[in-house]
Amino acid sequence: ARAAGKSKVGFSQCTTLEPWRVQFNKDIQAEAKNHPDIDLIITDGQDKTEKQVADCDNLIVQQVNVLLISPKESAGLTGVVEKAIDAKIPVIVLDRNVDTKRITQFIGGDNVAIGKAAGEHAVKLLGGPGKAAGNVVEIWGGMGTQPAHDRHDGFHAFTDKEPGIKYLLNNQSGDWKQDKAYDIMTTALRNNEKIDMVYGHNDPMAYGAYLAAKDAGRDKDIKFIIGIDGLPDEGVTWVSKGQLTATFLYATPGAEGLRQAAKLLKGEKLQPVITLPTMLITKENAPDILKKNGLL
Ligand code: FRU
């Protein structure tokens, strides 16, 4: 039942422990100001699947009119998403997917395309197609998430064609976290005399790898560090300082997510997928982005 003219939109966020998630919540809250007829309820899964499932259960009990969810991982959140749909609550999934086709809409970046762009850039940096050579450390995001797999697959679609590229790690996950990536890189540095490139599935992990190299006195030897996310006060700043070589914008689906929920509440039909754009960020365009965001 809808309270006098107001609709309830629930948003289950998986965590607020990562900077990109904090920005995501800011974006949806800012958009909420344009929708006075929507009561937005945001929950924080605290990076735990069980907590996020409980949050969704709670939003179902509160009979939200639309459920927005950005799941921690695919498998563990699929059940509760289907439960919401069974309770006639339409679900819009943001950034990371779930394993069901019954959702109303998915909004997120194209992580295969981003991975490919990263792979293409990596090949260029390492000497160009057919000539690329170097030792690469890849640090995975969460293994249970589609973005990590897509970012891996996209990258390798380009780099695997290069016999001169060697991979030093075997699918090691930093679970999107800077400190875990720092530890992975510290071990990689200990075990390998020559590391030419780091590919982190997000900027915090790429930066964690940079810090590990710096603390080991080897930051000058690691020629290229590539990340993904491109938050102005993180990735873009690190690129402009030369700590990262490049990053790729991964816009948060916060504002678009709420706009789409509002459309749905007005009875409009939603397109099944909205893909958010990306862009390569290097030392060349980083200052412009910083200026636009009042950071330079
Ligand atoms: C934040 C994050 C981002 C990344 C996204 C992928 O939790 O790790 O850094 O781009 O999730 O789902």
Average pLDDT over residues 280-288: 98
Strand partners, 225: 198
Q: What is the ipTM of this complex?
A: 0.96
Q: C-alpha distances in angstroms, 220 versus 160, 204, 213, 244?
A: 26, 19, 8, 12
For the chain, what percent of residues have pLDDT higher than 70? 99
For the chain, what percent of residues have pLDDT higher than 90? 98
- Dump pLDDT digits (tens) for 168-185: 998 999 999 999 999 999
- Dump pLDDT digits (tens) for 69-82: 999 999 999 999 99
Q: Give the type of residue at 166.
A: K
pLDDT at 296: 86
245, 16 in Cβ contact below 8 A? no
Index of the ligand 1 atom closest to the CA of residue 70 = 12
Match 């009561």 to its residue by tokens. Answer: 39
d(CA 51, CA 55): 6
Structure tokens at 173: 């996950």
Res 138 pLDDT > 60: yes
pLDDT at 5: 76
Choose one of 15, 20, 72 to mutate for the ligand 1 pocket test, by most ligand atoms within 8 angstroms of C-beta.
20
d(CA 198, CA 206): 7
- pTM score: 0.96
Res 3 pLDDT > 70: no
Q: Are strands 66-70 and 91-94 parallel, antiparallel or unpaired?
A: parallel
d(CA 54, CA 80): 9
Average pLDDT over residues 98-106: 97
Residue 215, C-beta contacts closer than 8 angstroms, at least 6 positions apart? 186
Query: 187 pLDDT band (50/70/90 cuts)?
Result: very high
The conformational region for residue 136 under phi > 0 = left, psi -120 to 50 = alpha, else beta, is: beta
pLDDT at 294: 95
d(CA 262, CA 256): 10
146, 175 in Cβ contact below 8 A? no
Average pLDDT over residues 114-140: 98
Index of the ligand 1 atom closest to the CA of residue 204 = 9
- Dump pLDDT digits (tens) for 210-260: 999 999 999 999 999 999 999 999 999 999 999 999 999 999 999 999 999
Q: C-alpha distances in angstroms, 229 versus 71, 123, 235?
A: 17, 20, 7
Index of the ligand 1 atom closest to the CA of residue 14 = 7
**From ligand 1's centre to the CA of 3, what distance in Å?**
34
d(CA 44, CA 94): 14
Residue 290, C-beta contacts closer than 8 angstroms, at least 6 positions apart? 232, 236, 237, 240, 296
264, 210 in Cβ contact below 8 A? no
Query: 4 pLDDT band (50/70/90 cuts)?
Result: low
Average pLDDT over residues 137-148: 98
**From ligand 1's centre to the CA of 176, what distance in Å?**
6
Q: Give the type of residue at 257.
A: G
Index of the ligand 1 atom closest to the CA of residue 146 = 12
Q: Which residues line ligand 1 (CB under 6 A)?
A: 18, 20-21, 95-96, 141, 145, 147, 176, 202, 228-229, 250
pLDDT at 1: 46
